[in-house]
Amino acid sequence: STPLYSSAASDVYKRQMASTVNTEELITVKERDAVQQLALRQNALIHQILTGAPSHNSEQSGVAVYRANLIASAGRALSQSYPVASAMLSEKTMHKLAARLLQFYPMTAGDWATWGAELARYLSETSLIEAHPYLSDIARVEWEIHSRSRLRAQSFDALSLKCLNEDLTKVHLSLSPSVALIKSEFHCGAIWHSHRWRDGAIHFDKALFEELLNNTPSTGHWLIQSQAEPFVQSIGRHEFNWIKAIK
């Protein structure tokens, strides 16, 4: 029988098919490289916006706009998380703090309410602490109140008291996640409680501050409760250590 096509024709066909396959693979590689290059440019842009890193002159103005909006959002976030510290400082100062904090601790979670935990540590390293030595500790108090108020509330389980009639070696206490402890030589309670919301803003109540300062001595050990009605209360060293041991 006579073959439908010659061996030479078969070889040509195979080369054509191979060429077609290679062309399709080449296009896929080009598309993939284009996507990767786009991702790299986007990541570089995000890095410039978040950190303030230098960019090309042609991109500088656009990056500056995004950067300004980012810092403005960061400043508002800090003011909401740290209302008392914000009231002690000017809006301009909080704006500068937000810009500096973004450089060292960029916002990565996508939720401004979770950003800014490092403010107290950063404040302790700035010259602001010379004029306001208590500012860092107040920031610590405010972050505990802010962050713990976002946690799920844990109500008291009265029925659990029945466990006291059982083997006490198997019983343990569990504190509400809304409770926090800090040590501070400053009267954090008087400072925090004397800053009150009024007419949509935080105002310092000097009379209340002096009353709290005189009538509630500081032990240097502070209990913070962030759920329901937040408060900051001075407690004894032994009580502090006992609660700390439970936590």
Query: Cα 188–183–193 angle (5° rounding)?
Result: 15
Q: pTM here?
A: 0.75
Return the number of other C-beta atoms located less than 10 Å from residue 192's C-beta. 23
What digits encode the pLDDT tens for the residues 138-196? 999 999 999 998 887 777 788 888 888 888 888 888 888 889 999 999 999 999 999 98
Q: Which helix (H) or strand (E) holds 38?
A: helix 7-51
How does pLDDT run across 9-65, given as a tens digit for each residue? 566 555 555 555 554 455 677 777 778 887 877 777 666 776 666 665 555 667 778
Among 157, 188, 150, residue whose Cα is nearest residue 174: 157
Structure confidence at residue 172 (pLDDT): 81
Give the residue ranges of DSSP H helices in 52-172: 57-81, 83-88, 91-104, 119-123, 128-131, 135-149
Residue 2 has what pLDDT?
A: 46
Q: 């995000």: which residue's tokens?
A: 46
Q: Which residues pair with 83 in a beta bridge?
A: none
